Amino acid sequence: MSDILVFKNLTKQFGKHKVLDNLSFHIPKGHVVGLVGPNGSGKSTIMKCILGIYPYEQGALYFEGQKITSKNVNQMSSKTGALIESPSIYPFLTGMQHFKLYSATKADVADVVNLMGMGKYINSKVTRYSFGMKQKLGIALALINKPELVILDEPMNGLDLMATLDLRKIIMSEAQRGITFIVSSHILSELEKISDDIILINNGKMVFQTTMPELRGLGQRSYILTTNDNKAAKKLLLQHGFVVADNGSSIQIDNSARQLNDFLTVLIENHIELLDISHQGMDLETATLRYIKGSRGVHND
């Protein structure tokens, strides 16, 4: 699959401070890519560089194979929809009037209003909107001109459970139609559900880029055990060189360097009864915390 967007050794500075440091990654066309990292890691700067809001000092940015420069950045922007930080809306205009500012056709407006479930209030002034309604309007404006790339910064902010579920369905269905999404969110459990790929940034550097199946696979050799004597089992396994954590009613074993039969044999030979065992796959939150704590440089996978 081809890439819609490629960052190549991109560096962005504010004064002497490098906000993005020799950053390289790629965005596959038609994928939902989760952009993850702590506050101040450079996520918003990445988005603003893509949109041409921020120039960069070194490196290159390619959109559909074409190098983006100050002369052609508007061409890329016309194919991109975005919601960054907060919706750019005017409180005394109606939602419908906002769409007219974007020169959208009536058919396109009808489609996105229906898609976002905004029909009941689209003709009301935005000053009457709740925070969640304003957020939905901002997302709708990002989608209105049928962009090839959509950038969403914290799109779940202010949305209730049903609106969050609806947004998840919308992003996934639009991606199936070929639209590419870059989504940043601190709600990692939701981001995990919609993302095909994850890019983790820390201190302006790449920590890793991977697919969600690969990320989950990183934890497949961690096991959760319940025995008839967890305390004794933990002590015994530690004595045999296993990495063991106490999870309260169970124990967790990092079995990445050993075979399953190795620790089962230890338990059986010492008459400890195994009551339950399961794989512990790595979720996005666990991976983010683990790799941010352990990152000391750049790791491109």
- Position 257 scores a pLDDT of 52
- Position 128 scores a pLDDT of 95
Fold entry, domain 221-280: Alpha-Beta Plaits (3.30.70)
- Position 296 scores a pLDDT of 44
- Position 26 scores a pLDDT of 97
Amino acid at 152: L
Q: Is the pLDDT of residue 141 over 90?
A: yes
Q: Which residue has the higher pLDDT, 202 or 158?
A: 202
Percentage of the chain beyond pLDDT 90 is 62
Q: Which two tokens stand for residue 142?
A: 């990002």
Percentage of the chain beyond pLDDT 70 is 92
Fold entry, domain 3-79+147-216: Rossmann fold (3.40.50)
Intrachain domains 3-79+147-216 and 221-280 with the same fold: no
- Position 291 scores a pLDDT of 74
The overall longest dimension of the chain from CA atoms, in Å, is: 75
- Position 1 scores a pLDDT of 65
Domain ranges of the chain: 3-79+147-216, 221-280
- The answer to whether the CB of 158 falls within 8 A of the CB of 134 is yes
Q: What is the mean pLDDT of the chain?
A: 88
Residue 300 CA to chain centroid, in angstroms? 17
Residues 6+ apart with CB under 8 A from 222: 252, 253, 254, 255, 256, 279, 280, 281, 282
CB atoms within 10 A of CB 97: 14
* pTM of the predicted protein model: 0.79
Question: What average pLDDT does the segment 289-297 reach?
Answer: 62
pLDDT per residue over 17-31, tens digit each? 999 999 999 999 999
Question: What average pLDDT does the segment 102-121 reach?
Answer: 90
> What CA–CA distance (Å, rounded) separates 289 from 292?
5
> Which candidate, 18, 47, 13, places its Cα nearest to that of 199?
47
